[in-house]
A and B are shown apart, each in its own frame.
Chain A
Amino acid sequence: MNEFAGSQYVIEVIYLVASALFIFSLKWMSSPATARHGIWAGEIGMVLAIAGTLLHRGIVDWKWIAVGLVLGSGIGIPLGMVQMTAVPQRTALSHAFGALCVTLVGTAEFYLRTPDVPKFMMSVLSAEVILGGLTFTGSLMAAGKLQEILPQRPITYKGQNLVNFLLFAAAVGSAVYLVLHPEAKQFFPLIVGISLIFGVLLVIPIGGADMPTVISLLNGYAGLSAAAMGFVLNNKLLIIAGALDGSSGLILSVIMSKAMNRSFTNVLFGAFGQVQVSAAGGQEAKPVRSATAEEAAAILSAANKVVIVPGYGMAVAQAQHKVRELYDILSKKGVEVRFAIHPVAGRMPGHMNVLLAEADIPYDRLIEMDEINGDFPQTDVALVIGANDVTNPAARNDASSPIYGMPILDVDKAHTVMVIKRGMSPGFAGIDNPLYYLDNNLMLFGDAKQFVGAIVRELSGGH
């Protein structure tokens, strides 16, 4: 019997080391210089924890564990090889998988223990499957929207907030009942089923532009459900990892919401992003000044300071590599080129940064909005590629605008603004952008990749 007690002790020590490694892993993510050590720490911690768990005295058979590990690796590797533009949907999918694991384990644990489930355990078990269930389906919906398998525009119906609230109340109510009456095990499938439906209905009304906040929230929920699992299984490592992941997700959600100047409740229940037809009508007549690639190239090469403002549209057009060529050729001519990154540019927090890093643009050229906003008045040229709402001055000036109060990049304060856009259609907020009609603005109509490519050709043509 002594050796069993010993191996349990060994497992606990291994979990202790793994916890410390996980904390270091996140700590080292604070800067690109140390970040890769963070991965090593995380990997070692994970391997230790898994190996340690295999020592568990209750394990009688390793065969199916091995099958699962191999199959999982087989799925994970191709998922790890996706392009940077697909990272948001891959991230959403991985949240779904994580939540699936937690929900399944919770369900299995319930049926193994019922009806002898003490009150506290039943409570955390319910929390585990409720959070896990809604995160599973919610993340699948998010992945579908990002991959554009599902419509990106919000799908709303009357009274939906009430329906969602009632569903959630029903799930929690059933859980409370089950806690008090552990023999009523037929309630359990009800709890899981409601949570799954709730997840779908929660994410369906959310539009593409709000995805960064939603993905961050789902990240947080996945973490909290894992922490709940830790309480159920009496596993401190799980509690710690879940708490770290949960706080990470929640912090990112707060940052994203602030960057869109909307509260969570507004994102979840406000169905922002529906095209507002009234605003767009009647603006057709106003003239805009446009320019050709030659003219744009001339303006750029005459500038001293250029700030490029990339948006999701640039990624969609796969223009980031051409943009890198533009960066190279302008830098060679002695122009200072920097990139202004709005926190919600892209489809998930930090998305724009990895897209530009993938194109080999040095990361010290990528400047956050708060840092660079004050520099626009001294900037000769602001080049906006595939971004719209984040450059809209109505957010500053027009109190009646739906985006009023949202922090934006003050590109209109630069000496000259050039916007590469395919046409005059509104962005996700569905409103017109007064920037385009300003005197210091030039529209560059065309596909981002082709237009930037044309500018690069003009610049290298020997001016």
Chain B
Amino acid sequence: MSSNVIDLLFIFMLACFIGFEVIRHVSPLLHTPLMSLTNALDAIAVVGAIVLVGERKSTFATVLGVIAIVAATSNVVGGFFITDRMLKMFKSSRPTKP
């Protein structure tokens, strides 16, 4: 099921446009959690490392792959955790107590 390069380029282009549109509407209030969230999503790169390690094609690849999995998983777990912590802190105005 290998797609040809042009298909991938189309997808990349469309994803960039979607990215611009979606991110534009993120409130500046949330720019910090946005960055930690996009970083956690980026760690999807772990799937490439997983295949690399799972296939066991060479020791070199396996070693690099395991380090890559560790680095990416740290981002996934830590990234979602800290983004959630940050978002929990944002509260709206409570009515001022007399």
Contact = CB atoms under 8 A, between A and B. Distances in A.
Contacts of B64: 104-105, 107-108
Given A56-B54, A229-B45, A364 B96 contact: no
A304 interface: no
B8 A231 contact: yes
Contacts of A366: 29
Given A102-B45, A251-B24, A32 B90 contact: yes
Contacts of A231: 5, 8, 12
Interface string A42-72: 1101100110011010111110110111011
Contacts, number: 366
A53 B86 CA distance: 30
B75 A68 contact: no
Contacts of B52: 105, 108-109
Interface in A230-288: 230-231, 233-249, 251-252, 255
A31 interface: yes
Nearest to A358: B89
Interface stretch (A75-83, A158-166, A402-410, A415-423): A75-83
A111 interface: yes
B46 to A, nearest CB: 7
Given A26-B23, A97-B72, A61 B56 contact: yes
Contact of B49 (A71, A104, A360): A104
A104 B29 contact: no
- Dominant SS at the A interface? helix
B33 to A, nearest CB: 7
A215 B35 contact: yes
A25 B37 contact: yes
A219 B34 CA distance: 11
Which has the most chain B C-beta neighbours within 10 Å: A8, A26, A108? A108
Interface string B43-59: 11111111111111110
B70 to A, nearest CB: 4
A241 B16 CA distance: 10
B42 A241 contact: yes
A36 interface: yes
A83 B19 CA distance: 29
Contacts of A204: none
Contacts of A242: 42
Contacts of A81: 81-82, 85
A112 interface: yes
Given A59-B54, A75-B70, A98-B43, A91 B35 contact: yes
9 contacts: A26-B22, A69-B69, A78-B78, A81-B85, A94-B78, A98-B71, A101-B46, A105-B64, A245-B41
Given A94-B79, A120-B5, 16 more contacts: A42-B80, A75-B74, A77-B78, A80-B77, A94-B39, A94-B75, A98-B42, A104-B67, A112-B57, A244-B38, A247-B23, A331-B96, A341-B28, A350-B29, A353-B30, A363-B90
